[in-house]
Structure 1
Amino acid sequence: MTDPASPIWDVLRSTWRAAAMRTMAELRCADHLADGPLTVAELAARCDAHAPSLGRLMRTMASVGLVETVGEDRYALTETGALLRTDTPFSLHSGVLFNTDPTMAPALAGLTSTVRSGRSNWVETKGVLYDYMASDPDLLALFNDFMTNRAVPMAAGVAERYDFSGVRTLVDVGGGRGHFTAAILRANPEIRGTLLELAQVLPAAREALESWDLGDRCELVAGDFFDAVPPGADAYLLGSVVHNWDDAAALHILGSVREAMPEDGRLLLVEIVLPDDDQPHFGKDLDIRMLCIFGQGRERSRSEYTVLLEKAGFTMTDVVELPFNASLIEARPV
């Protein structure tokens, strides 16, 4: 018989396990285990840690599946645990450290105030996250590394799983350093890209695109998607943009795209699409973080995206599943 208290304890336990995983990341245990199993004593010497305490940590991490016991007080890294290595593609090391950083703890602690007022307690007390991180270079570096490691597999998923037949010109709206543009252009040599970003972001985007030998196939345009986007392209991609804004702002952004888009154009949104029923989903938990930290940002369900797109003059035509619980939403002008 299922204990009705189990779901409550599962949630509480998750905070304890997150703290343990952060410590494993801070000590770089995964890096030290990369070459093979170690005893707790050997690992403690490399991590500069107290061996008995580290042994208790490893026991818990083994129960989570990040390491496995391969002998008495001896642990080996698992495939999942290897994602905490700092030298592996798509590492989650920075993601763990950023999302468990003590600096961010007040955001979740202020959730009750946020829910009562409808305004992010974090924004009210500390300001916009991006402005705050500008004064904390270490936190900003973690965030940027985390976003890059998250964007690269999602971008690869877009390039591999979506059919770009008929697309010759693509505008990446708010495209950051150009990870989505790069993946799409590499997979589709016939496409030329335009990346729209704020002026201060473009030097990093130019450097990245040139490092990928794509500088001659992608035009960089300084601008604000609230004002206007480059007109006349076959497709407009917004990767993790819409979820940063409330419905009014999102409609404004989508309106800018709709105005620029030809009648046979395509809108491509890379976002998390929540199920409309009660089933668990990563995005539902992430939405609480969005509520705490960004205030106006939110994750949306398929039905909510359908309504939002219709108000902006689009109709949803397809949803393609991507890595990291994300999806690519295709929409066409009505």
Structure 2
Amino acid sequence: MTLEASAPIGLPGGPYDPPHARLLALAAAKWAAQPIAVLAEMGIADALADGPRTLADLAAAVEAQPSALRRCLRAAACVGVFAEQEDGRWSLTPMADCLRRDAATPIRNWVLMLTRGPMWDSFGKLAETVRTGRSAFEVAHGTPLFDYLDKDDAFREVYESAMGELTGELAAELADVVDFGRYGTLVDLGGGDGALLGNLLARYPDCRGVLVERPRVIELARPRLTALGVADRVRLVPGDATAEVPAGGDAYLVKNMLHCFDDDTALAVLRRVRAAGGADATLFVVEAVVPPGNDFHWAKLIDIEMLADNDGRERTEEEWRELLHAAGFALDRVCATTPPQSVLIARPLPG
């Protein structure tokens, strides 16, 4: 496999472009996003995994029209995703490599989730959300996001796969800042296919785990946990992780779930965790934390996804502190991990 150095990225406009050109580049981001999504969907990165290929060879491999494929490749290459070599062959760049299905840090399903029909269409209704507060996704599709997932098998598969991407990497980072060996039982609420819990248990052989997820997702977790060699140490609990919180955990993990809800719903979940965990259980909340000021931060943009797609929101550190306190927790510290995530560590308040 050959990886070309990524080209300088033109979007969102060069620093010396006039303001109107930089603004146009931001508004025209779909000109780059959709070609990249098309190339991801067609498996171009997988087709280049063994090395550079000519356009004709590549087009034949993925059953594409050569001229149209080249135009999408050229658009993606100008922002650093794929590269055309001097001999005309196409190759992977470090960013393009992340689109492979077996990449070390895959984001293929994230790209597809954000740029394909359901979640793409909701952004066309964002003005309705700003005017009325009603979810743009519900306006666009007539049903809330999580109800929609129950009806669209193909999109649900992409969505659930995206939620599992990058999680193994996060487990390693968490283990570097927290000694989970001190916790006998880790309870993961809404832990998807078990990637986070499973990777933590693989590192800490004396710990046991509990995974709470919807029945369909639980079935995805079984092979994942088996592959990690920890299935015999995990109790699987099919159910709604917002309502069913098993008691007796020494630590509770809540990753990218609370940002899907408004404050009242998130508070109700946190109170259930506080009641289930008792006086000594530590809470680990994995979310993007919104910093102050005008500087770029992923959390400020992810917050718009939450605004469009459901009733959720990203929160500042102070907002998290207040929410946790209302639920009976004291925020101990916030540890930054690979963007956009941070880990909020909270302990039960006395009483």
Is the shorter-chain TM-score for this pair beyond 0.5, marking a shared fold? yes
Going from structure 1 to structure 2, the CA distance change for 1:229 and 1:43 (only over 3 Å counts) comes to closer
- Provide Cα deviations, 1:257-302, integer angstroms capped at 9, x if missing partner: 11222323211001111212221112221211111111x1111121
User: 1:188 offset after TM fit, Å?
Assistant: 1.3
Select between 8-17 and 154-163 the one with higher mean Cα deviation: 154-163
One of 278, 290, 294 as aligned partner of 1:274: 290
Confirm or deny that 1:263 pairs with 2:285.
Answer: no
Aligned to 1:18: 33
Structure 2 CA distance for aligned equivalents of residues 116 and 169 of structure 1:
45
- Provide Cα deviations, 1:13-64, integer angstroms capped at 9, x if missing partner: 3111001111222332222222222233333333333333333322222211
Confirm or deny that 1:32 pairs with 2:47.
Answer: yes
Contact 1:55 1:73 in 2 (8 A): no
Contact 1:150 1:324 in 2 (8 A): no
**Equivalent position amino acid for 1:308 in 2:** L
Structure 1 CA distance for aligned equivalents of residues 35 and 98 of structure 2:
15
**Equivalent position amino acid for 1:300 in 2:** R
Select between 177-186 and 4-13 the one with higher mean Cα deviation: 4-13
Aligned to 1:157: 173
User: 1:199 offset after TM fit, Å?
Assistant: 4.7
User: 1:116 offset after TM fit, Å?
Assistant: 0.4
One of 121, 136, 141 as aligned partner of 2:136: 121
Matched residue count = 333
Contact 1:62 1:68 in 2 (8 A): yes
Tell me the SS of whatever aligns to 1:36. Answer: coil
Going from structure 1 to structure 2, the CA distance change for 1:48 and 1:226 (only over 3 Å counts) comes to closer
Confirm or deny that 1:93 pairs with 2:108.
Answer: yes
User: 1:128 offset after TM fit, Å?
Assistant: 2.1
User: 1:331 offset after TM fit, Å?
Assistant: 0.7
Gaps of 5+ in 2: 1-15
User: Structure 2 length normalisation: TM-score?
Assistant: 0.86
**Equivalent position amino acid for 1:62 in 2:** A
Tell me the SS of whatever aligns to 2:98. Answer: helix
User: 1:180 offset after TM fit, Å?
Assistant: 1.8
User: 1:107 offset after TM fit, Å?
Assistant: 0.5
- Provide Cα deviations, 1:139-182, integer angstroms capped at 9, x if missing partner: 11211222222333223332333232532222212223322211
Structure 2 CA distance for aligned equivalents of residues 232 and 92 of structure 1:
35
User: 1:224 offset after TM fit, Å?
Assistant: 4.1
Structure 2 CA distance for aligned equivalents of residues 35 and 225 of structure 1:
42
Structure 2 CA distance for aligned equivalents of residues 58 and 286 of structure 1:
27
- Provide Cα deviations, 1:61-110, integer angstroms capped at 9, x if missing partner: 22111122321433221121111122334322222222111233321001
Aligned to 2:340: 325
One of 268, 279, 290 as aligned partner of 1:252: 268
Aligned to 2:191: 175
One of 129, 134, 147 as aligned partner of 1:131: 147
1:1-334 matches, within 5 Å, as 3-124=18-139, 125-199=141-215, 201-227=217-243, 229-294=245-310, 296-334=311-349
Structure 1 CA distance for aligned equivalents of residues 216 and 33 of structure 2:
35
Q: Runs ≥4 in structure 1, deviation > 6 angstroms?
A: none
Contact 1:154 1:324 in 2 (8 A): no
- Provide Cα deviations, 1:176-202, integer angstroms capped at 9, x if missing partner: 332221111111122222223345544
Gaps of 5+ in 1: none
Going from structure 1 to structure 2, the CA distance change for 1:68 and 1:200 (only over 3 Å counts) comes to closer
Contact 1:120 1:292 in 2 (8 A): yes
The CA RMSD over aligned residues, in Å, is: 2.2
Select between 285-294 and 106-115 the one with higher mean Cα deviation: 285-294
**Equivalent position amino acid for 2:251 in 1:** A
Structure 2 CA distance for aligned equivalents of residues 30 and 202 of structure 1:
30
Percent identical pairs in the alignment equals: 35
Structure 1 CA distance for aligned equivalents of residues 229 and 263 of structure 2:
37
